[in-house]
Amino acid sequence: MINVKDVISALDISRSSVELILSEADSIKKELAEKRCLHIADDKIVMTVFLEPSTRTRLSFQYAAAYLGAKVLDFGATEMSSIQKGETFEDTIRMVDGYGPDVIVLRQSVQGNAKKAADIASAPLINAGDGANEHPTQALTDVFTIKQETGRVSGLTVGIMGDLKHGRTVSSLSYMLDKFEDNSVIYIAPEELQVKEEVTSKLTNLKYSKADMVENVMEGLDVLYVTRIQKERFTDQNEYERLKGSYVISRNFLQKFKRKPIIMHPLPRVDELISDVDSMKEAKYFEQARNGVYVRMALLKEVMGL
Ligand code: CP
């Protein structure tokens, strides 16, 4: 059984719950190769509320619920809701919860509002990304993919590169790797976009260092986790323009190294990861996105007590 009712932060999920979800996701992946639907949640309703744009998280949760047999109701575009008429976030959550979903999956842009919503709702609530804060289900997907590709979640050296200041996957993945032994992270970013102290101060076990040149650390990495420079979170667009081309991973760049890490990315990508990498055997990001369905099925199953 998972140790939390609401999934708000990767910090809150116990190591044994993470291991349970990884193991269940693995079984579900095999089962789903043979069946269209598991039919274990036919009387359940999963409500997805995405108040910030999403492709992967929204669709993978909706597919995950459908593959379990649950009905999926979606809040729809914010522009078509009464938020446009000035309805508060709190009242919106009260209404969503009041109709009786079995789980609410929420994405929105304000750090801390996932917790606020969970405190209002009686249904379990899953944080599908709260601003630049956290994205715990992405981190579960990330460690599932790392385990699938390397055979382990311990004893890894992971380079996390790009916009570490604004990227919510960075904090959640760090907290997830912190739960296991002998993991190291190298945070690769220009000083302006380096990992936040509020993230590193919460690490208890994970060894970490910082670098500004990816080429200097490539040979020691098991995983290179590339992230997008998050244009939408910059207050100064000139600063975004100055930093946006800081790192570019291309086939040409990767071919310089004899020992190559697997390449991961939470996606979407813009221009930090060139499409000529896609056909390389190290490119795992589309597989990572597909794995999101199995991991979210395992999580929904646990959160709904199935
Ligand atoms: N990785 C991720 O969260 O992608 P979306 O924003 O498309 O959901």
169 C-alpha to ligand 1 centroid (Å): 10
Does 240 score more than 90 pLDDT?
no
User: What is the value of pTM for the model shown?
Assistant: 0.96
Catalytic residue chosen out of the listed positions 44, 58, 135, 296: 135
Query: What's the pLDDT score for residue 206?
Result: 98
CA 173 to ligand 1 centroid distance, Å? 14
Q: Which long-range contacts (CB under 8 A, 24 or more apart) does 230-233 make?
A: 230/132, 230/163, 230/166, 230/167, 231/270, 233/131, 233/132, 233/163, 233/166
Catalytic annotation present for 166: no
Per residue in 157-205, pLDDT (tens digit) is 999 999 999 999 999 999 999 999 999 999 999 999 999 999 999 999 9
- Mean pLDDT over residues 60-73, rounded? 98
Average pLDDT over residues 245-258: 93
User: How far apart are the C-alpha atoms of 16 and 247, rounded to whole Å?
Assistant: 36
The sign of the CA dihedral 33, 223, 172, 233 is negative
135 is catalytic: yes
Residue 38 has pLDDT above 90, yes or no: yes
- Rounded to whole angstroms, how far apart are CA atoms 231 and 240? 6
Which of 57, 59, 130 to mutate for ligand 1's pocket (most ligand atoms within 8 Å of CB)?
57
CB atoms within 10 A of CB 69: 15
Residues with CB under 6 Å of ligand 1 are 54-57, 129, 135, 138, 266-268
pLDDT digits (tens, 9 = 90+) for 268-304: 999 899 999 999 999 999 999 999 999 999 999 999 9
- Alpha carbon nearest to ligand 1 atom 3, residue: 57
At 260 the pLDDT is 97
Q: What is the pLDDT of residue 245?
A: 77
Average model confidence (pLDDT) across the chain: 96
Active site residue 107: yes
Whether 27 has a pLDDT exceeding 80, the answer reads: yes
pLDDT of 77 above 80: yes
Cα(258) to ligand 1 centroid in Å equals 31
Catalytic choice (30, 35, 85, 259): 85
